[in-house]
Amino acid sequence: MYDILFEGAQIADGSGKAAFTANLATLSSSIALIGNERVRARNHIDARGLTLVPGFIDIHAHSELYALKEPSVPLRTAQGITSDVSGNCGIGPFPYMADDEVLPRFSSDVLGRYHSPWPWTDFSSFRACLDKEGCSMNRMFLQAHSPLRIMAMGTDTDRAATDEEIEMMCSLLDRSLEEGAMGFSTGLYYQPCFSADDRELEALLRVVKKHDALFAVHMRSEGDDILKAAEEVLSLSLKTGVRLEISHLKVIGRRNEDKLEPLLQLIHSYHDRGLDVGFDAYAYNVGSTSLFSLLPPSVLALSRTEQRFALQLESTRSEMKKAMLDPVGWESIYALAGAGRIRILHLDSRSDLNGLSLEELADKAGCDPLDALFDVLSEETGTALMSDETESEAVLETILSDELMSFSTDALYSSFPAHPRSHSASIKFLSFSLPEHRILTFEDCIRRMTSINAGRLGLKDRGVVRESACADLVLLDRSRLSCEWDGKANPAVRLVCVNGRIVWQDGQCCDSRAGRILLKNPAR
């Protein structure tokens, strides 16, 4: 007897081909039968009028500590995400030296907090913690660049690394990839990765190439210098032969919109030269990251205590204002977006300010927007997140329609309320197939959320609906994709299945232990 029978579903199989009607039956963790037969099963689902698709694969997330703290990950499974990749933007929780507070402090705005000291030291022991807790979805991990720099250089990361430090980073990266990490990520916009030079990056990428792993990068610039930043990572990737994933592609600032076409042409030119390159995007023209990231790199290299002290000095404030308004050698989001388009999403210490733009904050405080920002950050000892309007809808739609684009969320779970991409990214992405947008067909949306990302990650049995493939499945009510909802249980997502087990059904979590840790080398 089969385990689950989906009867009469429209099936969009992840290939991009037109949906077809069939019954589908699962057995254990796999899809066992697709056809017209009506078979016996322990659990019968009437799927007539509904659409069955592969589980969504998020290639860019930051959910590693969220999954540890809340194994049912309802904000993920409720939107149909059955597998994700964390450790992006060079930010991750391993390797970690016991009792060292540098890495937890550095990563807290993006990853959130977990009890200290962390009970792991490397990828292998981190996996052991994950296995103990279990999770509702499948998880994959990249080795992040920042922990490597911190392990090799301590707190002195505001500089280029020495040969010995690069050698140590390469050894640590090699170990993580040997233990099954899917690849390596860096965030060249953020310290401490910002200070890495081409010599360091090339050495690390040669280790990535050795393991045929993926290189994911938050580029050094997504605004004024985006073409130069793209050339940097594209040329390094071609030189070393790695597979490149450009993270959350965007063009920041209205003054930079004319750079989008040459940017896409540049990426495609490297693709035509044989580089295995793709890029992911989330379906919002508003981004989110740490509010502290607005500060110049020299200030970000300081500890939070040192930052708070610096933010209270008039002389330092004057220097920071000059750097943020007229940056040299780095990219200022403040200069690109402006005070009116940057909004406080969450402050641990001042929840009464949540939702205010920096312009509104300045009006409330009766001072200059930068002084108002510095005052807030000088008093904040916890998490501080912002949202920023990064690009126009027209730029977003052009990116989403490019053939090299695939789905991601860039979801953060360090605080709540969070950016809507943390709970609604997949539904928002699918909305671009609705008549009011028509950027992509529904079947192509599904392909970019499933089989394309599976292919980028080397997952041969996921991201598709076919017999013998893993039973990661989402049952959708397409008629309700545009419905209003409360951010917790989207009515369009009727059921989510991970490895043959139902983890979400009719707005409720069902199984918090169905997921697996997926490794680059599953034999290890």
Does residue 395 belong to any structural domain of this protein?
no
Distance CA 295, CA 145 (A): 20
Does residue 269 belong to any structural domain of this protein?
yes
| Domain match, 168 and 60 both | yes
CA atoms within 13 A on the CB side of 450: 31
pTM: 0.95
Question: Residue 338 corresponds to which tokens in the numbers above?
Answer: 């402006």
Residue 143 β-bridge partners: 184
Does residue 419 belong to any structural domain of this protein?
yes
Distance CA 53, CA 110 (A): 30
| Domain match, 355 and 501 both | no
The candidate with the shortest Cα–Cα distance to 412, out of 109, 102, 59, is 109
Distance CA 364, CA 344 (A): 13
| Domain match, 425 and 296 both | no
| Domain match, 68 and 47 both | no
| Domain match, 421 and 495 both | no
Three-class SS of residue 10? strand
| Domain match, 47 and 61 both | no
| Domain match, 219 and 271 both | yes
| Domain match, 266 and 359 both | no
| Domain match, 266 and 354 both | no
Does residue 505 belong to any structural domain of this protein?
yes
User: What b/e readout covers 207-246, taking b as 16+ CB neighbours within 10 angstroms?
Assistant: bbbebebbbbbbbbbbbbbbeebbebbbebbbebebbbbb
CATH number of the domain enclosing 28? 2.30.40.10
| Domain match, 340 and 383 both | yes
Alpha helix positions (H), 100-144:
102-111, 123-133
The candidate with the shortest Cα–Cα distance to 361, out of 383, 377, 339, is 339
Question: Residue 408 corresponds to which tokens in the numbers above?
Answer: 């991601």
CATH number of the domain enclosing 213? 3.20.20.140
Q: pLDDT tens digits, the chain, 524 residues: what are they? A: 999 999 999 999 999 999 999 999 999 999 999 999 889 999 999 999 999 999 999 999 999 999 999 999 999 999 999 999 999 999 999 999 987 888 998 899 999 999 889 999 999 999 999 999 999 999 999 999 999 999 999 999 999 999 999 999 999 999 999 999 999 999 999 999 999 999 999 999 999 999 999 999 999 999 999 999 999 999 999 999 999 999 999 999 999 999 999 999 999 999 999 999 999 999 999 999 999 999 999 898 888 889 988 999 999 999 999 999 999 989 999 999 999 999 999 999 999 999 999 999 999 999 999 999 999 999 998 889 999 998 999 999 999 999 999 999 999 999 876 789 999 999 999 999 987 777 899 999 999 999 999 999 999 999 999 999 999 999 999 999 887 666 667 899 999 999 999 999 999 999 879 999 999 976 44
Does residue 355 belong to any structural domain of this protein?
yes
Q: Which residues contact 17 (CB under 8 A, 6 or more apart)?
A: 443
| Domain match, 444 and 379 both | no
Does residue 515 belong to any structural domain of this protein?
no
* Residue whose tokens read 């697996």: 516
φ and ψ at 114, to 5 degrees?
A: -135, 155
Q: Among 358, 389, 420, where does a domain finish?
A: 389
Residue 475's domain comprises 2-54+464-509
Three-class SS of residue 450? coil
Number of folded domains in the chain? Answer: 3
Does residue 396 belong to any structural domain of this protein?
no
| Domain match, 364 and 493 both | no
Does residue 342 belong to any structural domain of this protein?
yes
Q: Among 344, 360, 389, where does a domain finish?
A: 389
